[in-house]
Amino acid sequence: MNKKIKWGIIGLGKIAQKFVNDLLLLETSELEAVASRDLEKAKTFAENYHSKKFYGSYEALLLDKSIDIVYIATPHNSHEKLSILALKHDKAVLCEKPFAMNKQQVFNMVEASKKHNMFLMEALWTRFLPAIKKIKNIIETGEIGEIKYINADFSFKANPSIQRIYDKELGGGSILDIGIYPIFLAYLILGIPDKIIAKAHFFESGADSQVSIIFDYKNAQAVLFSSFNSNSKRIAKISGTLGEIMIDSPWNEASSFSLFKDNQEEKFSVPKIGKGYAHQIIECNSCLQKNLTESPLWSHQNSLELITLLDAVRKEIGLVYAEDL
Ligand SMILES: NC(=O)c1ccc[n+]([C@@H]2O[C@H](COP(=O)([O-])OP(=O)(O)OC[C@H]3O[C@@H](n4cnc5c(N)ncnc54)[C@H](OP(=O)(O)O)[C@@H]3O)[C@@H](O)[C@H]2O)c1
- The model's pLDDT over 290-312, given as tens digits with 9 standing for 90+, comes to 999 999 999 999 999 999 999 99
pLDDT in tens, 148-181: 999 999 999 999 999 999 999 999 999 999 999 9
Q: What angle do CA 101, 109, 17 make, to 5 degrees?
A: 70
From CA 186, how far away is CA 176, in angstroms rounded? 15
The whole-number pLDDT of residue 229 equals 97
Nearest CA to ligand 1 atom 37: 11
From CA 266, how far away is CA 76, in angstroms rounded? 39
The whole-number pLDDT of residue 2 equals 61
> E strands within the chain?
5-10, 29-35, 53-55, 69-72, 92-95, 120-122, 147-155, 195-202, 208-216, 221-227, 236-240, 243-247, 256-261, 264-269
Provide the mean pLDDT of the chain: 97
Counting residues of the chain whose pLDDT is more than 70, the rounded percentage is: 99
Which residues are bridge partners to 28 per DSSP?
none
Asked if residue 37 has its Cβ within 6 Å of ligand 1, the reply is yes
Asked if residue 51 has its Cβ within 6 Å of ligand 1, the reply is no
From CA 96, how far away is CA 99, in angstroms rounded? 6
The whole-number pLDDT of residue 180 equals 98
Given a contact cutoff of 8 angstroms between Cβ atoms, the answer to whether 92 and 120 are in contact is: yes
Asked if residue 122 has its Cβ within 6 Å of ligand 1, the reply is no
CA distances from 133 to 23, 35, 138, 187, 316 (A): 20, 33, 9, 14, 31
CA distances from 54 to 12, 58, 100 (A): 11, 10, 26
pLDDT in tens, 193-235: 999 999 999 999 999 999 999 999 999 999 999 999 999 999 9
The whole-number pLDDT of residue 171 equals 96
The whole-number pLDDT of residue 3 equals 83
CA of 272 to the centre of ligand 1 (A): 24
The whole-number pLDDT of residue 142 equals 98
For the chain, give every residue range classified as CATH 3.30.360.10: 130-271+307-324
The CATH fold of domain 5-124+277-293: Rossmann fold (3.40.50)
Beta strand 120-122 with 195-202 is unpaired
Kindly list the strands in the beta sheet with 92-95, ordered across the sheet, starting from the edge strand earlier in the chain: 53-55, 29-35, 5-10, 69-72, 92-95, 120-122
Asked if residue 279 has its Cβ within 6 Å of ligand 1, the reply is no
What is the dihedral sign for C-alpha 173, 282, 284, 26? positive
From CA 22, how far away is CA 5, in angstroms rounded? 14
CA of 231 to the centre of ligand 1 (A): 22
From CA 110, how far away is CA 65, in angstroms rounded? 22
246 — phi, psi (to 5°)? -115, 120
CA of 16 to the centre of ligand 1 (A): 8
Atom of ligand 1 nearest to the CA of 17: 16
CA distances from 101 to 89, 204, 267, 306 (A): 22, 20, 38, 12
Helix residue ranges per DSSP H, 24-153: 39-48, 58-62, 79-88, 103-116, 130-141
Average confidence (pLDDT) over 253-272? 98
Q: Is the pLDDT of residue 7 over 60?
A: yes
Nearest CA to ligand 1 atom 32: 75
Asked if residue 136 has its Cβ within 6 Å of ligand 1, the reply is no
Atom of ligand 1 nearest to the CA of 74: 24
Asked if residue 38 has its Cβ within 6 Å of ligand 1, the reply is yes
For the chain, give every residue range classified as CATH 3.40.50.720: 5-124+277-293
The total number of residues written for the chain in this structure: 325
CATH number (3.60.150.10, 3.40.50.1460, 3.30.360.10, 3.30.1780.10) of 130-271+307-324 reads 3.30.360.10
CA of 96 to the centre of ligand 1 (A): 9
Band (pLDDT 50/70/90 cuts) for residue 104 is very high
The whole-number pLDDT of residue 11 equals 98
Counting residues of the chain whose pLDDT is more than 90, the rounded percentage is: 99
Asked if residue 77 has its Cβ within 6 Å of ligand 1, the reply is no
Atom of ligand 1 nearest to the CA of 45: 40
Task: Please tell me whether residue 72 adopts helix, strand or coil conformation.
Answer: strand
DSSP string, 208-243: EEEEEEEEE-SS-EEEEEEESSS-----EEEEESSE
